[in-house]
A and B are shown apart, each in its own frame.
Chain A
Amino acid sequence: MAEEQARNNDSNVDYEKARTSLDRLYNIYKDIASTADEVMQNRCPYKDASSRCTAKFGCRNQFFTSDPTSLPACAGSDQIDYREAWDQ
């Protein structure tokens, strides 16, 4: 199915333009990686924007609610090395 779609669409591809687009995507990712390196110095990378924990391992900063389907809250302060709280 993918190959057939590809054959139907390949005449509509400007490869050089696609190459430029992919380079732009890579540069967006590169900026993201650079930001991530900075952010992760203080904030646990598993802590989402709602301060919930997305880790699949245990951590002392996890605060579980009564809803078993919801992600635990992160009680980490971003002031102390969060790695110390991870289960080893």
Chain B
Amino acid sequence: MPITHEGLAREFEFVSSPGERKHISEAIDGTAPIMQEMAYELIVGNNTEVDRLTQEALADGFTANQLLDDGLLNGMAIVGVKFRDNLIFVPEVLVAARAMKAGMVHIEPILSASGAKPAGTIIMGTVKGDLHDIGKNLCIMMLRGAGFVVHDIGVDSSPDDFIDAAEEHSAEVVGMSALLTTTMPNMGRTIAAFEDMGLRDEVRIMVGGAPVTQDFADEMGADAYGDNAVDAVDKAKELVLLLAELKSS
């Protein structure tokens, strides 16, 4: 059965590799119209519509599995193909990831009720004086994809912003990003602020960003340095385990 949603059918035409066309069309064919609409709206980054459609589908009795597979993942698979083939770029990917999050907000409670536990809770922000956020946003996308609950405090975040968020959300990990050499020292100031508040042992802190290095992270007293988004996930998982061990000893 061909893809019935017109917009999704147009997006599918961007998938050029025969193997991928077969795999993705098999996943989409026969799925309910609302799922195809959801996949399309995710691809074009319409988070409001994904939010609405997810709620409507759940109210109509669709399962969390169907929403994940037939709606959200089918959409994200095409986003990945388009990005790889240079048809869209980082801004479009992040907008699609935001739409994914809008759908997952309604699915996560269902998964939690079935026993799924988050990988951890992490605060992510760019330090004071720094307005660059692409690296942070890509890391957040990966961390959410890995099952972390992520609270994004945005750019130009002061030490108090990080501390307040960590306390409010009982975060295990605080992640700081800096893109400028002039703002990197604010990472050290934030870590010092956690120490001054007697909270340093309550969280693990990781840092990242283009000018940041392992040596710098060590000098600032960070617990980990993430070289890229995938590394950030691996380090965050290690830090959550480490903190649990520290607290139990």
Contacts and interface: CB of A to CB of B under 8 A. Distances in A.
Q: Secondary structure of the B side of the interface?
A: helix
The 7 nearest A-B residue pairs measured at CB = A6-B109, A10-B113, A12-B63, A29-B145, A57-B131, A48-B91, A45-B90
Q: Secondary structure of the A side of the interface?
A: helix
Most buried by B among A3, A34, A36: A36
B106 to A, nearest CB: 7
B249 interface: no
Given A9-B63, A15-B116, A86-B132, 9 more contacts: A6-B113, A10-B113, A25-B73, A28-B79, A29-B142, A39-B89, A40-B134, A45-B134, A83-B210
Interface stretch (B28-36, B80-88, B162-170): B80-88
Contacts of B72: 25
Contacts of B132: 55, 57, 86
A30 B230 contact: yes
Given A10-B114, A13-B65, A56-B155, A48 B92 contact: yes
Interface of B: 58-59, 61, 63-65, 68-69, 72-73, 76-77, 79-80, 83-84, 86-93, 97, 100, 105-106, 109-116, 131-134, 138, 141-142, 145-147, 155, 180, 182, 210, 228-230
14 contacts: A3-B113, A13-B113, A17-B65, A18-B111, A21-B69, A22-B145, A26-B146, A28-B73, A32-B141, A35-B84, A40-B134, A49-B87, A55-B132, A56-B131
B89 A49 contact: yes
Given A2-B109, A34-B230, A21 B68 contact: yes
A26 B237 CA distance: 14
A36 B93 contact: yes
Contacts of A88: 180, 182
A33 interface: yes
A54 B131 CA distance: 12
A47 B109 CA distance: 35
Contacts of A54: 91
Nearest to B68: A21
Contact of A25 (B112, B114, B145): B145
